[in-house]
Each structure stands twice: as structure tokens, then as C-alpha cells.
Amino acid sequence: MNFPDEIAHLVRSDEPLGPMVWLGIGGPARFFAEPVDQEQLVALYRAAIDGGLAVRVLGSGSNVLVREAGFDGLVISLAAAPTSGLQIRGNTLVAGAGAKLSHAVIKSVSAGLGGLEHLVGIPGTVGGGVVGNSSAGGRDLGSVVHEITVLDSQGQSKVISQEEASFGHRKTSLGGWLVCEVAFALEPREVTALTKRMQKLWINRNAQRPSQETRIAMPFVDPDGISACELIQNVGLAGLREGDVSLDARQPNYLVAHEAATSDQCLRLIDRIREQVLLQTGVDLQLNLQIW
């Protein structure tokens, strides 16, 4: 495919994706681009649509499993500063979709604005967090969303309200759109108290992660009312292994990719876990991972 001259210099071919995702697994993207402003993002997205290319947005790569065949389409990274910026406007935090969720938390707490601090330590970006309605401590991200700027399936920009996004337990109606920017309506709070709460949550979250492993991901969404970790432990699957992929023995809600891990091994292990959990508990675990 030939991209328009004004954006062709942004596009790289056969870009390895494995080093960009937490699991460290996967082949190349047919096309890869990192726009440095909103205009470039729109132009890339529209060019891909016009050319019949599938599009994926890459944030931090914390919940992406890439197959060894790679992705036959355009991968857009939102890591550049203009697409991952954070601005405080009164009691509103405006965040680019590529901003890390933890950075958004820290920015709001430093400004004395409450509403996001319970999400500190949750991996991923603002865009991914909003699409999947990330939650922690009994409160979800959608509860403080004011509005979302997206590109629709035709590449047209539109603003979506909180109600239109249809926030539910770890889901929204945003799956068919590309999230560009999110405005969060927050509440003025005392900075010191917010900071102490954030620091305490940060310590607790870090203690729950496998400390010796670097190539990890959380494969499942926590069902409403119980954690995936508890379910997996209750059915005796902690530490379960498939080739060079395993569940962490102490924190089995984490998938660990060892040196020779493959995407097929990951998927086989995930299927085994889902089958056993469903058989023994009646709960059908839903994927947190995006499979590319």
C-alpha cells in the first residue's frame, strides 16, 4: 500500500512488535507509525481505512499478545508526547490516549484532584483503560469520565459522553472507535491525604506483582465479585505450565513468558485455565489480553 506523501515518512514496514509488548512475544507489523500530532493520527487512520487495512493502536503493550506471524495491517503507536499529554483545566484532567494511566493518577493527585488515585499501579494507557473500563478498589475508570474524543470507523472525529460510552463491568461500547483524548471530571481534595492514599495503594499493588519476572501479563478480567487470582487458586491451577509459558505460582493471575515462549503456548495455557475454571466453578473467564 502507498500512503499519502505527507505521512509516508512516518510509516515503517515490517516493524518487530515483540520488543514493544510486555510478554516480549510476536512477529512484525506490516506497517507501523508513531504520529506526532492529532492531524497525523487522523491522516494515518483515514489512509488505512481507505486502503482496506486493519488498524490496531499500541499503548504500553501490557495487555497485548502478538502471534509470531505478526499483524497484517497498520499499528499506530500513541507514545509521542502530543498524543500522550496530560493537562489540568480547573477540576478536569485532559489526557491523551497514549498517556500512561499511572502518570494520569500522579498528575491529578499532584494537582489536588481526587477520583483516579485508586488506579495507581494499574498498567496500560488512558485509552486502553477507558475502552476496557479498568477498575480497582471497587471503582471503575468510567465513573469519572466526562467525555471522550474518538475517531469513528470512517475516520471522523466525534465527542462521546459518559452515557454514550455505556460503561459496564470491564466493558464499554467504544470497541469500534479509536480513542484520541479523554476528559476526566475530578473533585478537589487535600493533596497530602491523596498522596498518602496513592502511595499506600502503589506499595500494595507492587507487592502483588511477580517480582522476579519481567515478561508478564494479566490474561483475564476479574469477574464481578471475585478476582481471577482467587478463582485460579481455588481450582488448583497456580503455577500451571504449558511449554515455556506458566502461571505465576504465588500470583496466578499473571502469565509468565519464559525464554522460548510462543504465542501458541500462551493460547493453549489460557484455554486450559478457562476450561478448568468453567468446569469447576461455572465462571467463564473473559480475556484481558488482546490477541493480534
Q: Which of 182, 206, 230 is the last residue of a domain?
A: 206
Tallying the residues shown for the chain, one arrives at: 292
pLDDT above 80 (res 105): yes
Q: What is the pLDDT of residue 216?
A: 94
User: Could you tell me which residues are beta bridge partners of residue 140?
Assistant: 135
Question: Model confidence over 238-281: pLDDT tens digits?
Answer: 999 999 999 999 999 999 999 999 999 999 999 999 999 999 99
- pLDDT surpassing 90 at residue 7: yes
Judgement on whether residues 129 and 156 belong to the same structural domain of the protein? yes
Tell me how far the alpha carbon of residue 92 is from its chain's centroid. Answer: 22
Total domain count, the chain: 3
How far is residue 227's CA from residue 231's CA, in Å, rounded to a whole number?
7
Catalytic residue numbers, as ranges: 170
CA angle 111, 115, 117 (to 5 degrees): 75
Asked if residue 88 belongs to a domain, the reply is: yes
In a shared domain, residues 72 and 88: no
Are 154 and 197 in a shared domain? yes
286 lies in a domain? yes
Is residue 222 in a domain?
yes
Let me know whether 140 and 246 are in one domain: no
Contact 40, 21 (CB under 8 A): no
List, for residues 8-25, the tens digit of each pLDDT value. Answer: 999 999 999 999 999 999
- Read off the pLDDT of each residue in 27-41 and give the average, rounded to a whole number: 95
Q: Is 253 a member of any domain? A: yes
Domain containing residue 133: 84-206
For 130-182, what is each residue's pLDDT tens digit?
999 998 877 889 999 999 999 998 889 999 999 999 999 888 999 889 999 99
Position 211 in a domain: no
pTM of the model as a whole: 0.89
Distance of CA 30 to the CA centre of its chain: 21
**Closest C-alpha among 124, 131, 133, 72 to residue 103:** 124
Residue 57 falls inside a structural domain: yes
Sign for the pseudo-dihedral over CA of 274, 65, 125, 233:
positive
- Claim to verify: residue 100 and residue 147 sit in the same structural domain: yes
Of the two residues 226 and 77, the one the predictor is more confident about is 77
Q: Given 188, 206, 224, which residue is the final one in a domain?
A: 206
Q: For 207-235, how does the pLDDT look when each residue is reduced to its tens digit (9 = 90+)?
A: 778 867 789 999 999 988 889 999 999 99
Q: Calculate mean pLDDT across residues 194-210.
A: 87
Q: Do 100 and 134 belong to one domain?
A: yes
